[in-house]
Structures are given as C-alpha cells and as structure tokens.
Structure 1
C-alpha cells in the first residue's frame, strides 16, 4: 500500500472515531470515467498515489470544517474549476507583470498550467501538484501558491509524503 493510501486509511479511522461530521463530508469515490475525463481535459498525467486517493474519496463536499489546515480538499470538479480560473487569468494576461519568487524546485511563474490545485482556502491560496517542476524538482511534488504574494513554496516531494504530514498534523491536533 502506498504512503498516500496508508495516510488516507489512518485519516478515515481517526475521523470515524471522533469526527463523524468530517468523515461524512468526504465525497464518495471518483469514477474511472470522471478520472479519465479530468486527465483528458487538463491534458496532464497525474501521479498514481494522487489518483488512488481520488478512487477512494473525490475530495470534500465542502459542508464541514476544511480538512487540511483551513483548506478544503477539492473534488475533481472543483479542481477543474480552480485550475480553469487560473488558466483564464493567465491567458488574459493578468500575470504578465507579476514576477514570482519560487523555491529552487519550482519553475518561475505566477501560474503554470502544470500546477494543479487540490486544496483551497476559498481566497486564492492553493496547495498544488506540480507537474511542471524545475530541473531540481520532482514531477508530482507538492507546492503552495498564493493569489496575492509572489512566493511559490515547496512543501513535499510527492503527494503521499504531503498527505502523510497532513494526517499526522490532523491526528495530533484536532
């Protein structure tokens, strides 16, 4: 079992014991056709551990507390909406005069099409899969982007590592 699936299983057990409202806020699995359509629409190949988690829970419904440090775990539909919004802003030239300050593993840019937001604070700050990393980065690394600040922050080498850290934080802090 991958790190991501182990972490998700630990999270489910923890939520089932004492946080049923959060457990109930997790969506049912994304279907294979939803996953395929999502990857086709974004024209990106997603890491296996990321897709494996969405085969168990398609993010949150968004009717309860935000699961990851004040950020909602986005469904594939909401990822697509947020990603499309960033893409539209980029294509419209909104970021042409917006230099960023990325950590070394992250390519320069206010927004890149290979950044896929999978959490949101509702105000423009996202945790993203980076499917277009710098030469010193790793495909599928996890980064944090801000809508109004230039820093692009490296968080973890992969989704499973990031999720494991989040679950550890949740299970010791909720």
Structure 2
C-alpha cells in the first residue's frame, strides 16, 4: 500500500479508482481509472459529480444576503459592560494594539464591529501570550464562552469557506422565513468567524441578520451542516455576560415548497410537489409505477432533479426542464438522453446514480460521454495485465 501511496504522491494525486478481474488461473487485468479535474471523488470506483462548467457552484453557493432594512443592534449590546466584565475575568491579559486590529481589518476587507474590537483589546487570544499555560487558555474560554481565534485566524465565513460536493450542495435551498433571526445562507460577507465551541462549530458575528435578528448578533455555524446558521446570543455582550450556551436554528432547507422528496415515506406523486417556489425535486426509492415529469415542466425555479434508477416513466421529458443546473440519474436514464441527443445543455454539473455491484467501466464510459459534450477532461484508463499464478 505504501508503494501505491508513494506513486500517487509522485503525480500529485490524492487517490485513484480501479477494478481488477482475476481468473481462477491467475490471469489478471487491472483497470486504473485516472482522476479527471472535472470529476469529484465518488463512492468506490464510480465517479462523483461531473463538473460540466469549470468553476461552477450550485445556486445556494452563489446566493448573497438579502437586504433587511431597519435591523439594529440588540438592546443587550453594552460596550462598557462588555469591557468591564472581560477585564474582571481576565486580569493582566495581553490585548491587541490598534495597529494589529487595523491590520486584521485590512486583511478581511471589512471593519470589525465595536464589540469585537473591545474583546480583542482585552485579549489577543494568542497561545504565546499564555506561555504554554493550559489553565490560562481555559480561563479565556470560560470568560468568553468559546475558544477565541487569534486575530490572524479571523475569517469571513462566506460561501467559499464552506465547500460541499455538487451532488449534496445542489439539493440544498436558501430559505429565510419572515420570522427568522438568521438568514438561511451558506455563508455571508457579513459573517465574521472569531471562535469555536470546542466541537468544530464556528462562532461568528452576524452583520447581515434575518428579518427578526439584530446587527452584531452571535451565530453558530454547525460543522455537520452545509448551509444555514443558528442564533447563539443577541450580542457579544449577551454571550459573555450571560454565558449563553444553547443555540437554535430557524433554518430548514429540506422542506417544501423549495425542496420536495418523492419516495415511499414522503410525497407519493410529482403533482403533490408542484409549487412555483420548487427548486429541488428528489425522487427516491419507489415501489409503484414510474413517474411522469409533466406536472413540473415549466416551473420557473426548478434547478435540480435527482431520480433513483427506474423511477421515471419517460426520461426524455427531462429535455423540457430547461432551467436545470444539476441532474442525477441512473445509467439507463442517462443512456436514453445521450442516445436521443437530449441532455439539457444548461447543466453546470451532473451525477450518475449507481446501485448494486455495477462494473465501473460502463459507468465511466457514460461519464466520459457527458464530459465530452462540454469539452471537459475525461477520466482516462490505464490497463495492466499480468499473471498471479494459480490459486493455492
């Protein structure tokens, strides 16, 4: 295995897919499927999402915050109380200089909110300042309510900072209810991440709140989620003084009407999913008759369709879904579209849904046909033949 890893490292590859055919006599054929820069990592030997348009990202990753006029800081914001509380809890702490704060603002391209400046003027959050004293570091965590990033590690928690494979990201939707405190975004240029809760969830100041939120509120970006954030505290003062620890999320991107599931446990017809706001239609495991897509033809916002193999009565109907940017189908359904020249040319990415023990070479061939339609780099194959000797 180390020889294989070394060979991959020599060519700058993270991994390689392969299939081996070994006969009882020992004759062996090894197929190496060399990665394409246009293909994401998949499950086993099968390709992941095919990036048909270079640099493309799903719609939720392109979404910027909505303007919410009239949002103001929370009543709990109190700069004097915040500073006094921090200095009482962290006597003798080393704070950041104005030059260090200004350098951070220049690097981020945004002015730090006043509460965050107060925090860093009291403590810089640098490990060097604690002289390797874990107890001192823990006192900072207890004083603030999170693990504080040093100024050099502050970052804007925008959409690019939260990458996600196409086949998962394309099935998300940005939804912000009218009573939401936090916008249901992937990320925002107004989310400044400054800490961690110790479990991998990022803590950020929110300068682009939802309709019922406050400018400067504190939010949590759950590391197990690819989209949305949860409200932790109305302000940094509230977080520090009241030691807020519980958080809740308003965001549900997997509910109708934006996202609809059709399967044995959810909706039972395509007609039931029809809504002007429908963005994502997912057809899963189904025991009944295959579905017609006629009810969703012409819906203005439908951009993603995923269909479990064998669930579509007429795959050629997909050609009429002109707004699709992502399509995931089984190999047979892709074969119908390819043979008919009916693959939607507005796609930015695609995926092949493979179930069961399918040989990877025919699947790779379909992937390469799709990549060729967009003049994207194919998955190349290397064939190695040999003999292992007869079985013992």
* Structure 1 spans left out of the alignment, 5+ residues: 14-22, 168-174
What is the alpha-carbon distance in structure 2 between the residues aligned to residue 96 and residue 44 of structure 1? 28
- Closer, same or farther: CA 4–114 of 1 in aligned 2, 3 Å: same
SS in structure 1 at match of 2:106: helix
Confirm whether residue 118 of structure 1 aligns to residue 118 of structure 2.
no
What is the alpha-carbon distance in structure 1 between the residues aligned to residue 198 and residue 237 of structure 2? 23
Deviation at 1:165? 1.8
For residue 159 of structure 1, the aligned residue among 210, 231, 236 is 236
Deviation at 1:76? 0.8
SS in structure 1 at match of 2:218: strand
| 8 Å Cα contact 2:219/2:230 also seen in 1 | yes
- Closer, same or farther: CA 121–53 of 1 in aligned 2, 3 Å: closer
Deviation at 1:40? 2.2
What is the alpha-carbon distance in structure 2 between the residues aligned to residue 160 and residue 70 of structure 1? 11
Confirm whether residue 51 of structure 1 aligns to residue 129 of structure 2.
no
> Which residue pairs with 1:79 in the alignment?
154
What whole-Å deviation, never above 9, does each CA across 1:44-76 have from its counterpart, x for those lacking one?
A: 232212202211211242852541498411111
What is the alpha-carbon distance in structure 2 between the residues aligned to residue 70 and residue 162 of structure 1? 7
Instruction: Figure out how many residues of one structure are paired with residues of the other and give that number.
Output: 153
TM normalised by structure 1 equals: 0.69
What is the alpha-carbon distance in structure 2 between the residues aligned to residue 166 and residue 148 of structure 1? 23
What is the alpha-carbon distance in structure 2 between the residues aligned to residue 164 and residue 101 of structure 1? 32
> Which residue pairs with 1:5 in the alignment?
83
| 8 Å Cα contact 2:105/2:111 also seen in 1 | yes
TM normalised by structure 2 equals: 0.34
> Which residue pairs with 1:19 in the alignment?
none
- Closer, same or farther: CA 91–61 of 1 in aligned 2, 3 Å: same
Which shows bigger deviation, 62-71 or 113-122? 62-71
Confirm whether residue 148 of structure 1 aligns to residue 214 of structure 2.
no
What is the alpha-carbon distance in structure 2 between the residues aligned to residue 152 and residue 128 of structure 1? 10
More helix per residue: 1 or 2?
A: 1
Q: Which has the larger radius of gyration?
A: 2
SS in structure 2 at match of 1:107: coil
| 8 Å Cα contact 1:114/1:131 also seen in 2 | yes
- Closer, same or farther: CA 100–152 of 1 in aligned 2, 3 Å: farther
> Which residue pairs with 1:170 in the alignment?
none
SS in structure 2 at match of 1:2: helix
> Which residue pairs with 1:16 in the alignment?
none
SS in structure 2 at match of 1:160: helix
Deviation at 1:131? 1.2
Deviation at 1:87? 5.5
SS in structure 1 at match of 2:239: helix
| 8 Å Cα contact 2:203/2:218 also seen in 1 | yes
What whole-Å deviation, never above 9, does each CA across 1:103-150 have from its counterpart, x for those lacking one?
A: 811111122221111111465311110011123211111111112135
